Amino acid sequence: MIDAVDWTAVITGVDWTTVLVALVTGLTAAGGPYLIWLKQAKSERRSVRAALLAEVSALIEIVEIRGYLRDLRAAEATLSNLEQWQLDTLSSDDFQFQVPIGEHYNRVYQSNVNRLGSLSAREARMVVRFYQLADSVKADISEGGVLFSGSLGAEDFKDAADILETAMELGRQFVDSTPWWQFWHRGHFVDAGSDVKSGGSSQ
Q: How confident is the model at residue 118 (pLDDT cuts 50, 70, 90)?
A: confident
13 or 141, which is more confident?
Answer: 141
Q: Please compute the mean of the pLDDT values over residues 3-9 and round it to a whole number.
A: 53
Query: What is the rounded average pLDDT for all residues in the chain?
Result: 80
So where are the chain's domains?
17-198
What's at 140, amino acid-wise?
D
Calculate mean pLDDT across residues 82-89.
94
Q: Which helix H or strand E contains 75, and what residues bound it?
A: helix 68-80
- pLDDT winner (highest mean) among 41-55, 60-74, 168-182: 60-74
- Please state the pTM of the whole predicted model: 0.70
Q: If we measure between CA atoms, which residue out of 71, 87, 44, 91 comes closest to residue 161?
A: 71
Tell me the HSE value of 182 on the side-chain side, using a 13 A CA sphere. Answer: 18
